[in-house]
Amino acid sequence: MHEIAAFLRGFPPFEDADERALAAVVDATEIVFFPEGALLAEQGTPNDGAVHVVRTGFVELLADGRVVDVLGPGEIVGLPSLVSGLPPGVDARAAEDVLAYRVPEAQLLPLLEGRSGLRFLARTVRERTAPVRPDDLAETTDEPLHGLLRRVVEVAAATPVSDAVGRMHIDDASSCLVRFDDGVLGIVTDHDLRNRVLAAGLPTSAAIGDVATAPVLTIGSDRSADEAVMTLLAHGIRHLPVVDADGAVVGVVEDVDLLAAQSRTPVRVRRAVARASSVGELVQAAQGIRPAVLGALEAGHPAPMVATTLSTLQEAVAAKAVELHLRSRGVPPAPFVWAVTGSVARREAVLSSDLDTLLAWEGDDADAEVRRWMRSLAADVLATLGACGLAHDVNGVRADDPRFSRSVDAWREALAGWAADPWSDQADIYLAAVGDARPVWGHAVWGAVAPAVAAAHARASVRTALHRVATSHHPPTGFIRDLVIESSGEHAGSVDLKRGGLLPVASLGRYLAALLPGRPLATSDRLRSAVHRGLIAADDAHDLADALDHIQALRLAHQAAEVAAGLDPDDHVRPDELSTLQRRSLRDAFRIVARVQRALPSPVARP
């Protein structure tokens, strides 16, 4: 075997290439040498139509001069730029003398098609996200540490372990600073107590200094959260004492707090929502949702993480809106539950997603006064959510619509009726909406509805209906110039990523959930559970999850570009918006969905 082929065969995406495709790569590959300090790629400079596979040496990725990652032998330099069609967002610099294989785009693209190629691309997006630029850190982690400090527990080295643990318990601390007689400062953590005391059989009467790590690493209180994170990562520790200019300990920061600070924009929005004491404050807080999501996209966070962030923020706003309106209205006439459903409940929302809502209350559905009160509340809450920028379809699933706001008993009765004849009067749509519901207020009341949902899904007729729906949303698999397009209508010349990709996958997940105990909501959780229960092959589930991630990433990128251009976000992507690789990957994603649809298990009755 050719030496280049033998080397490439050990790394993705070359490992799964057939002999002819790999031979084409080898024939087109150039061997290139880069001396230490030379640039393999320059930030903002267009890609030259090729990637470099590191053969020997290491390549540093730098964002405005700051090293954010290091690539070694077998790793590909320039792949994100090739995938996106955009100039590199970082510099790639030889950390030492580097020997690399330059592989042209024309020979690499065929290796990124099909199931293995799509999986490799999905993994690349998830694991090799774009770094945060220093300018972004002003909105994320570049803040003084004082806002993240935990209280300090400090004891003398001679203090018995039992007394030190008592102090930690009182102050709810997961670490304890230990002062030795010579002034040296050490630290003992929960982890140390488990491993150095309990596991080692050390008596609790022993001196705490015997199990301390000393001297402890510290950081100045004038340093940023970002610097603290890098210190933790560099030294493999989880607790970091913070000292002032005189060396006095002023607090301790922990990894969990610092990692939260790395997502500070969404966390800040969530905190502002929680603290809102009026509708006006809630509306103001909610204005931060879209910038937080766009910032996460710009920073390169994976699509599933961005969609989950957006969904959870919208859920928080919905719950807060209910709370605020209850404050002004007083005690409700009956306990009730407010639930979200659809993409938000599945944690798969994008910028164009509507917020679908349901309402259920205890008591007699025929009580006109209670019914009027509940639907009036729903109308007010939905108006507030609209002011917060959370769109809802006027003809969709809304808590002020009699179809989706009922007493618990009426919901049970309706579910039984729909289950008996799931094809009558859009019953399959109602069953899907209730099956995806996630309560955000009044969770206990939903406990009275959930068994009726499970009973409906246990009916063979309902499973048959969900199976038909899951296999009737056909993704486009016929292409013109590698991309299917709509031939007519308002969006002629584009592909609908929601109708063609997300809807079929969500319908597959919803059907599988009907066969599962526990009723998981997120499509990814439904797929994992289905594999565990033997309902779907592991490879099919993994491929489907990768396809979903890829489609969601394209949706979010497209919608972010539309927002930047001052347009309302939608799901209709034109071919000229996508690179050749993106078009081929989208085609592969659609074909994976179609293949899994054909292999979907029949709607047999299950417990």
Residue carrying the six token digits 């679908």 = 356
Q: Report yes or no: 605 and 458 within 8 Å, Cβ to Cβ.
A: yes
pLDDT range class, residue 256, cuts 50, 70, 90: low
Residue-range domain boundaries for the chain: 3-112, 145-261, 267-598
Domain 145-261 has CATH 3.40.50.300: no
Structure tokens that stand for 395 in this block? 């003809």
For residue range 448-492, list pLDDT tens digits in order. Answer: 899 999 999 989 999 999 998 888 888 876 655 556 666 556 666
**What element of type H or E holds 554?**
helix 538-564
CB 53 within 8 A of CB 4: no
- Per-residue confidence (pLDDT) for residue 192, from 0 to 100: 86
Q: What is the SS3 assignment for 168-214?
A: HHHCCCCEEEEECCCCCEEEEEHHHHHHHHHCCCCCCCCEHHHHCEC
pLDDT bucket at 326, cuts 50 / 70 / 90: very high
Helix, coil or strand: residue 63:
strand
Q: What is the band of 447 on the pLDDT scale with cuts at 50, 70, 90? A: confident
Say yes or no to pLDDT of 370 above 90: yes
Greatest mean pLDDT among 54-58, 150-154, 321-325, 572-576 lies in 321-325
Q: Rounded to whole angstroms, how far apart are CA atoms 603 and 598?
A: 13
More confident residue, 332 or 118: 332
For the segment 359-373, the average pLDDT, to the nearest whole number, is: 93
Arithmetic mean of pLDDT over the chain: 83
Greater model confidence, 353 or 120: 353
Cα(207)–Cα(249) distance, integer angstroms: 22
228 pLDDT exceeds 80?
Answer: no
65 or 219, which is more confident:
219
Q: What pLDDT is recorded for position 133?
A: 35
User: What is the pLDDT, as a whole number, of residue 456?
Assistant: 92
* pLDDT 10s digits, 100-132: 999 998 888 888 766 666 666 655 554 444 433
Q: Is the pLDDT of residue 402 over 60?
A: yes
510 and 436 Cβ atoms separated by less than 8 Å: yes
> What is the rounded CA–CA span in Å between residue 218 and residue 220?
7
Tell me what the mean pLDDT of segment 535-544 comes to.
Answer: 89
pLDDT band at 41 (very low <50, low <70, confident <90, very high): confident
Mean pLDDT of 418-427: 87
Tens of pLDDT along 160-212? 999 999 898 787 788 899 999 999 999 998 878 878 888 888 999 999 999 99
The CATH class, in words, for 3-112 is: mainly beta
Q: Is the pTM of this model over 0.75?
A: no
Residue 577 DSSP code = G
Contact 502, 495 (CB under 8 A): no
pLDDT score for 269: 79
Distance CA 313, CA 385 (A): 12
The answer to whether residue 277 scores a pLDDT higher than 50 is: yes
- For residue 59, which of 20, 32, 86 has the smallest C-alpha distance? 32
494-531 pLDDT tens trace: 788 898 889 999 999 999 999 888 778 889 889 988 99
